[in-house]
Amino acid sequence: AYLTPPRALSFNTQHTSQKMGSTVDETKFNVKICCIGAGYVGGPTMATIAKYAPDVKVHVVDINPKQIARWNSDNLPIYEPGLDECVKAVRGKNLFFSTKIDEAIRECEIIFVSVNTPTKTYGVGAGRAADLKNWELAARNIAKVANGPKIIVEKSTLPVRTAHSMRKVLMANDRKISFEVLSNPEFLAEGTAMKDLAKPDRVLIGGMTTEEGQKAVRKLCAVYERWVPKANVITTNLWSSELSKLVANAFLAQRISSINSISELCEATGADVQEVAHAIGKDTRIGKRFLNSSVGFGGSCFQKDILNLVYLCESFGLKEVAEYWDQVVKINDH
């Protein structure tokens, strides 16, 4: 989701000259939002918010000037059906792309963090745990430059209880500025992301159960409820929201692993795996989706999130649970 090269991990924003929408009539905006990370999740999500909530001013910021330049051009850095039209309809009105991260943090009350959290390649948890260095860098920068209370929204896929650690980082500022951390995981599928955002099955928002935590939850709910039915906006505690993203991907990956394993049995017995998938998919308890046998998972997210889940289970001493989910990956490596 965060397309900045790994070497560019500094939050120095002195090199930019983009305007922060200063020529726009500020009186028409009731809420100001920024998203740190102009990638596959941050760009489309913020464009959708800007489209359906014209009274919300939206900044998308990134440390990569080339990435931002493309968002401000006719050649967007990613392709999704409907994205180009959506961006062009609201860009310069209530949607702005910039490298001025510090300015956006100071101006906005709700700050989405949508940075890359790849699988660790070194140290404890290498090959399984999520690497949170980009998230921590973003949190430390927010704590350093914030000029008042902020609502921080986890948009990246993160391990359970990451919000607790990030809150500690944010609250360690020497100016006693308060922060509320929310979890708002994305459930986008490549190729249908804009449709998923316009008419989501659900929007999940997790927050602390304190009075201030619930106040922050309601504020973010109100943004989505400008176009999403209230019944589709689900609120939970922080930990449930963080875990739900990993579990959703794990369950979908499990279906792919299951049908892939059955394909081997079909080959051995003379059955047709497509016919078997069609037959069981007619059972309404099972359904027809994610029953196409294929090589692996068809992408990196499922395996990354399952390995994250495995590491999480191992960390809590849940050996049998960890082994169960690890097998979902192994059957596709087989």
Inter-residue contact 134 to 141 (CB < 8 Å)? no
Length of the chain: 334
221 is catalytic: no
How many Å apart are CA 139 and CA 149, to the nearest integer?
14
Rounded Cα distance between 68 and 70, Å, is 5
Using only the alpha carbons of the chain, give its radius of gyration. Answer: 21
Catalytic residue among 35, 86, 108, 301: 301
Of the candidates 207, 224, 185, the one whose C-alpha atom is nearest the C-alpha of residue 56 is 224
H-helix segments, the chain: 42-52, 65-71, 83-90, 101-107, 133-145, 162-171, 193-198, 211-224, 238-269, 273-281, 301-315, 319-333
Please tell me the distance from the alpha carbon of residue 2 to that of residue 33, in angstroms, as a whole number: 18
Active site residues: 301
